[in-house]
Amino acid sequence: MIRGRGGEPLSTGPGDRIRFRRSPVAFPATPPETELRDGWTVVLRYEGEDDHPGPWLVDLSHRRRWDFQDRDIGAQTPMDLPVPERIGAVGVHGPLVINRLNRTQVAIWHLGDGDPPSTPPETGFTETTDGHCMLAFVGPGVPQALEHLTPLDLFDPARATPFLTQGPVLHVPCQIVTFAVDLVVMTFARGYGETFALAALESGAIEGLRPGGEESFRRAFA
């Protein structure tokens, strides 16, 4: 028996191995409860989470995501979802969220419960799950925590939630969806994941930001 660096059991024959997957983010906290899902080790809860009112930073990098592009995107229904008419608009359809990025492009996120759909065969789709780090800011105090990370106006009262913002957080270009005053989800290039998350926790600690498990996100998203 050989063990992988993360302690995953590896047998000697390739056929028997667990094809484990790694998130770009590893929080400096102890998870009492994890779940193995499609190769990802998903943290459901962190130690001491129940005694903390929030805000939490939740790693959702394992959630599946797609990029869909088409010149005539308004006429398309990728994954049977209506494409939001306005650029910057966000549609929530059950477990799926569709963000209108620009004239020709949408991003689709699987954020709800249940199994994610598989990638449709149309040319316009590219699965981008592995290209991003996805983080959620959950709980009371999210706006204050984010004030330490970005100059973007993520809580403009003039905009109806949910809405999309594309811009820099910690100087890294991000796609950010504001679902509510206590729920913001963002994606950015996977390579930044580790240092971004650490910086976010460091600056956000002033407002009580701590690592949270997927459960806290699921409660907020529901």
Partner 1 sequence: MVADAGAKTGGGLADRGSPDPSVGRPDCRRPPSHGRLPEGRLPPGPTCRVDLSQPLEFSFLGRPVTGFAGDTVASALYASGVRIFGRSLKYHRPRGLYSMEGESSNTLMAIDKVPNECAETTELKAGMSVRAQNVRGDPQTDRFAFIDRFDRMMPAGFYYRLFHRPYRLWPLFQNGLRRMAGTGVLDPRRGLEEGIRGEGGIRVEGGIEVEGARMGSDVRAERYLNAEVAIVGGGAAGMSAALAAAERGLRVCLFERRPWLGGHLVWRVRDFEGEPLHRRAEKLAVRLRAAENVKVFTSSPVTGVWGENLVTGFTSGAEGDLFRECHWECRAKTVVVAAGCMERPLVFNHNDRPGVMQVGAVWRLARTYAVLPGGVAIFSVGDDLSLEAAADLADLGVKIRAVADAREAVRQDAALVTALEERGIPVLAGWAASRVMGRKQVKGCELGALKGEASRRFGCDLVVANAGMQPRIGALATVGARLAYCGHTHTYQPVELPGGVFAAGSMTGLRDPRAIEASGRLAGERAVESCGGSAPGPDESLPEPAPGCDIRHGPDIGRGAKAFVDFDEDGTYKNVVESAAQGFDVPELAKRFGGFGLGPGQYRVAGQNLAMIMADLRGDPVETATPTTVRPPLVPPSLATLAGPGHDVHKRTPLHGELAARGAIFRRAGPWLRPRYFSEDTSCRKEIRNVRRNVGILDSSPLGKFRIFGPDALKALQRVYISDMRKAPRGHCKYSAMCNDMGQLVDDGVVIREGENEYYFTTSSGRAGSTVEWFRYHTRYDRWDYNLVNLTDVLGSLNIAGPNARRVLERVTDDEVSNEVLPYLGCRRITVADGVEARCLRLGFVGELSFELHVPSSYCQFVWDLVVEAGADFGIRPFGLEAQYCLRAEKGHVIIGAESEARVTLTDIGMGWLWDCGDTAAKKVGAPALRACEKQPGRMRLVGFRVDEGSGSPRDGAVVVDGAKIVGYVCTTRRSEALGWQYGMAMVREGVAVRGGRTHIRQEETPGRGESCSATVVPTPFYDPGGRRLRA
Partner 2 sequence: MTFRLTCPVCGKRDVYEFTFGGQDRGPRPAQEGLSAEEHFRWVQFRMIPGGWEGGEGGGVREGDRAAPQEEWWYHGQGCGVWFRTTRDPGTNREVEGGGGG
In the complex, the residues that contact partner 1 under the rule CB under 8 A are: 2, 4-6, 10, 14-15, 17, 19-24, 28, 39-40, 53, 61-62, 67, 69-71, 104-105, 123-124, 126-132, 140-141, 143-144, 147-153, 155-157, 170-172, 181, 189-196, 198-199, 201-203, 205-208
Closest CA to 107 of 123, 127, 80, 136: 127
Closest CA to 188 of 22, 24, 21: 24
Pairwise CA distance, residues 207 & 4, whole Å: 37
* Shortest Å distance, C-beta 114 to partner 1: 21
Closest CA to 104 of 89, 83, 119: 83
Contact set for partner 2, span 100-129 (CB under 8 A): 101-102
Pairwise CA distance, residues 102 & 88, whole Å: 7
- For residues 30 and 104, which CB has a smaller minimum distance to partner 2 in the complex? 104
88 binds, among partner 1, partner 2, none (CB under 5 to 8 A by kind): partner 2
Q: Position 13: which residue type?
A: G
* Shortest Å distance, C-beta 32 to partner 1: 21
Q: Position 108: which residue type?
A: I
- For residues 84 and 211, which CB has a smaller minimum distance to partner 2 in the complex? 84
Pairwise CA distance, residues 2 & 124, whole Å: 41
Q: Which two structure tokens, joined as six digits, stand for 183? A: 């729920």
Residue 14 near partner 2 by CB under 8 A: no
Contact set for partner 2, span 127-156 (CB under 8 A): 151
Residue 157 near partner 2 by CB under 8 A: no
The CA dihedral of 118, 123, 125, 127, to the nearest 10 degrees, is 70
* Shortest Å distance, C-beta 145 to partner 2: 21
User: Which spans of this chain sit near partner 2 (rule: CB under 8 A)?
Assistant: 87-88, 101-102, 151, 165-168, 171, 173
